Chain A
């Protein structure tokens, strides 16, 4: 076995602050002349409505308030379990009235990883906002899928692993709420 030693430290994070939309989603706040589209508006292009699932939810703080100044980013493989660098990324914010976010995407497939293991379908999710000195990372798995042999889920024991599993509402729609604190605090990952 060989390894080499890194010589630089990773640059530290700082909070994205309340005005992250200016840099990351200017069209969403009506700064419309700069970029043609906001990045990650659709994770997969040229898909029919019938091929898509909807994941809906809110991000709750320790007071139980649903937040509208957070930015969510997702990254996933396609329905065949293939990661393609030109697609699979989405960026979105909760609606400022309903405080709910909605992600429309294809349901990812399971895949055989670099590690040789079979991974259950999931979407990687990151959360950045005011009050978070670092971006948080978690995953969205899906209720109804085969989950017990997933390499990550199988190492999570005796804690709130259900927080990583989106509840199935209907054939094509799921609910995934995120709790930053409290009894139901979501599991966050050191990715």
Chain B
């Protein structure tokens, strides 16, 4: 017989929940230790999303909100990569949803109090399903950095929010992709809530200039790794033997 289980999450390579430099965590991060238990069906299984929910322009943020085909302001970028599990198996059909600020660092959201202008041709919202090789790609605009209230006013480095569903509810991941070379990265408490340097670096999209000649675009590569599922086999032994 065999038993499936998710590989235990390595919290040394995850952000600290209770991280006072990020002020909002002070009254929201739970104080007690989480309870660990063997994976059950609800963690191993998960919702799967159908191709028919995805519209033709859902992964093209430069056109999916534009009026009369007008381009949003800012420079166009491609963000691409793969979604795989911890055994390097590509995950097909993973749902990736992204959201981001416009080129001026402003979100299309009532709660964004930043005084930067909204862009009438940019919502900052996209989604796609990964291919059979786990590949995804978004065409978007370079998001701007922006000020926000934390310990006084601080600045967020440029980033894109990612939400990912793999095949298991236990693989669910919400994260942010940053941009290679951004000088604000080292000042960001949300980034610094991850102590492990290698883990921190894994959130930084790598600049890829190979498409800059053919498509007039800068590209950033961001590979995403979801938890692996381990199958443990036991020998079948008849009782009494």
Contact = CB atoms under 8 A, between A and B. Distances in A.
B110 A23 contact: no
Contacts of B99: 19-20, 22-24
Contact of A132 (B25, B176, B235): B25
Given A12-B175, A21-B109, A6 B87 contact: yes
B30 A185 contact: yes
Given A11-B226, A61-B28, A190-B36, A23 B163 contact: yes
A8 B15 contact: no
B202 A12 contact: yes
A123 to B, nearest CB: 8
Chain A contact surface mostly: loop
Contact of A151 (B15, B40, B49): B40
Contact of B161 (A3, A7, A16, A34): A16
B125 interface: yes
Interface string B87-131: 110000000011100000001111110000000000111110000
A33 interface: yes
Contact of A114 (B4, B58, B175): B4
Interface stretch (B68-76, B165-173, B179-187, B212-220): B165-173
A133 B203 contact: no
B47 interface: yes
B14 interface: yes
A191 B97 contact: no
Interface in A42-85: 61-63, 67, 69, 73, 75-77, 83, 85
Interface residues of B, number: 92
B22 to A, nearest CB: 7
Contacts of B58: 34-35
Nearest to B176: A14
Contacts of B34: 188-190
Interface of B: 3-4, 6-10, 13-17, 19, 22, 24-32, 34-50, 53, 55, 58, 64-65, 84-88, 97-99, 107-112, 123-127, 161, 163, 169-170, 172-176, 190-191, 193-194, 198-200, 202-203, 224-228, 230, 232-235
23 contacts: A3-B230, A7-B87, A9-B225, A11-B175, A14-B15, A14-B191, A17-B176, A18-B111, A18-B112, A20-B163, A20-B174, A23-B126, A26-B125, A29-B109, A77-B42, A83-B45, A111-B41, A115-B38, A131-B25, A133-B19, A155-B35, A180-B27, A191-B169
Interface of A: 1-4, 6-24, 26, 29, 31, 33-36, 39-40, 61-63, 67, 69, 73, 75-77, 83, 85-89, 111, 113-115, 119, 122, 124, 126, 128-136, 151-152, 155-156, 159, 180-181, 185-191
